[in-house]
């Protein structure tokens, strides 16, 4: 007996808003059985003495200390802008909104 039925695959496709033909649903139900079987085999091997990993290699994040520095004034930030208005960059209107 299948671990996942054709109706369950159809429901999952509906929830994901994927249109599937009857042939595709039948085919995918069989493939889902194979996938679920592979996951079950992995779960059989996994034991409490095997640590969970998110990456096969040790990865360390390199970070630097945050430093507070003075930022640009609005005038300095806008000094190279082609156009500005009210201390903001002025750009062409693209959406037709006011």
Q: pTM of the full predicted structure?
A: 0.43
Angle between helical axes of 22-45 and 6-15 (0-180°, round to 10): 100
Residue with the bigger pLDDT between 13 and 61: it is: 13
Torsion of CA 8, 11, 13, 15, to 10 degrees: -140
Q: How do residues 14-69 score in pLDDT, each as one tens digit?
A: 999 999 999 999 999 889 888 988 988 888 877 777 777 777 888 888 898 999 99
Domain that holds residue 28: 6-45
Here the CATH number for the domain that contains residue 16 is: 1.10.20
Which pLDDT score is estimated for 13? 93
- Check residues 80 and 95 and name the one with the higher pLDDT: 80
The structural domain count of the chain equals 1
Is residue 37 included in any domain, yes or no?
yes
The answer to whether residue 26 is domain-embedded is yes
Residue 93 included in any domain: no
């Amino acid at each position: 007996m299948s671990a996942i039925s054709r109706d369950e695959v159809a429901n999952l496709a509906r929830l994901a808003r994927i249109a599937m033909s009857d042939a595709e649903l039948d085919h995918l139900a069989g493939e889902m059985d194979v996938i679920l079987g592979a996951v079950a085999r992995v779960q059989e091997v996994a034991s409490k003495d095997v640590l969970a990993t998110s990456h096969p290699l040790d990865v360390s994040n390199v970070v630097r200390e945050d430093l507070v520095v003075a930022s640009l004034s609005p005038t300095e930030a806008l000094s190279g802008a082609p156009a500005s208005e009210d201390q903001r960059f002025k750009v062409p209107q693209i959406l037709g909104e006011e």
